[in-house]
Amino acid sequence: MPVVVLVGTLDTKGAELIYLRDRIVDAGCDVILVDTGIRSTDPRADVCADVVADAAGEDRESLAASPARGPAVMAMAECLHASYSHTTP
């Protein structure tokens, strides 16, 4: 069965991501939902934001405490890239 890795910020787009995940599953694929939200602790993620941040040596709570959201979101994107760039298809 095909596997889709669905990446998004569950803290701000949770309902949309869950809807999309369910449609992908309905289409016959498995889904790995990766949360990159800096303020997220959503239990519906298969890979939580803390794990994404930790994999790149960052702390999600510290990123969330930043007064500027943009750089924190960019840091999470870099964490995701660092976490998965070493994998092969």
59-82 pLDDT, tens digit each:
889 888 988 888 778 888 887 787
Q: Which of 23-27, 32-36, 64-68 has the lowest mean pLDDT?
A: 64-68
pLDDT band of 52, cuts 50, 70, 90: confident
- Pick the closest to residue 1 from 35, 30, 43, 44 (CA basis): 30
And the tokens for 55? 């994999």
